Amino acid sequence: MVKMNLQRFAETADASQGLLSKGTTLTYTPHGGSGTATEITDISTVPEIGSDPEKVDVTTLADDKKKSIAGIQDASSLAFTAIYKGSNFKAVSALDTATNYDWTVTYPDGMTVTFTGQPSLKLSSAEVNGALKFTLTVVVSDGPDFHPVDAAPKA
């Protein structure tokens, strides 16, 4: 009889054929502080995360075609959507909108993206036969920084 350690398979997600977004989490801590991260529960949408460099025109009068170089990267605001459950909205609405927090998005394979920013909150419109949602927007002041997981399997 062969015994299998199923816990070993649960420790890492297999992304060899792609990665299902199920299990992605959003957490925050006070900026620069240490302590336990607080999870924003019932997130249904995580936005595209990254930044686009500004395009800087370096064309001279001697050039036949316009020339550009990459400038400073522009990290836009990140809007996360959550299903309204009452307690999760109450927890998010208690955040100080004038304060920076350190945020972490963790994907199922363990990769994380960290950034710092101020939160704002917006309740979605109500519609017939539709789930009530809210949007947590974080105005990014630092980051995002990607932290990929080690590709080597765990022993």
Query: For residue 7, what pLDDT is reported?
Result: 40
Residue 17 placed within a domain: no
Structure confidence at residue 136 (pLDDT): 98
Confidence of residue 6 (pLDDT cuts 50, 70, 90): very low
Q: What was the pLDDT predicted at 26?
A: 98
pLDDT at 154 over 90: no
pTM higher than 0.85, yes or no?
no
Q: Is residue 117 part of a domain?
A: yes
Residue 122's CB: how many other CB atoms inside 10 A?
11
Give the range of the structural domain holding residue 96, as residue numbers without chain letter: 44-49+71-155
pLDDT of 155 over the 70 cut: no
Would the pLDDT of 12 be above 60?
no
In a domain, 62, yes or no: no
How many CA atoms, within 13 angstroms, populate the side-chain half-sphere of residue 110?
Answer: 13
31 inside domain: no
Each residue of 89-120: pLDDT tens digit? 999 999 999 999 999 999 999 999 999 999 99
Structure tokens belonging to residue 97: 């909108």
Query: Mean pLDDT for the chain?
Result: 87
Q: Check residue 15 and give its pLDDT.
A: 62
- Residue-wise pLDDT tens digits, 123-133: 999 999 999 99
* 3-state SS, one letter per residue, for the chain: CCCCCHHHHHHCCCCECECCCCCCEEEEEECCCCCCCEECCCEEECCCCCCEEEEEECCCCCCCCCCEEEEEEECCCEEEEEECCCHHHHHHHCCCCCCCEEEEEECCCCCEEEEEEEEEEEECCCCCCCCCEEEEEEEEEEEEEEECCCCCCCC
Domain count along the chain:
1
In a domain? residue 11: no
Q: For 56-84, what is each residue's pLDDT tens digit?
A: 999 999 999 999 999 888 778 999 999 99
Q: Is residue 10 part of a domain?
A: no
Does residue 39 belong to any structural domain of this protein? no
Question: Does some domain include residue 78?
Answer: yes
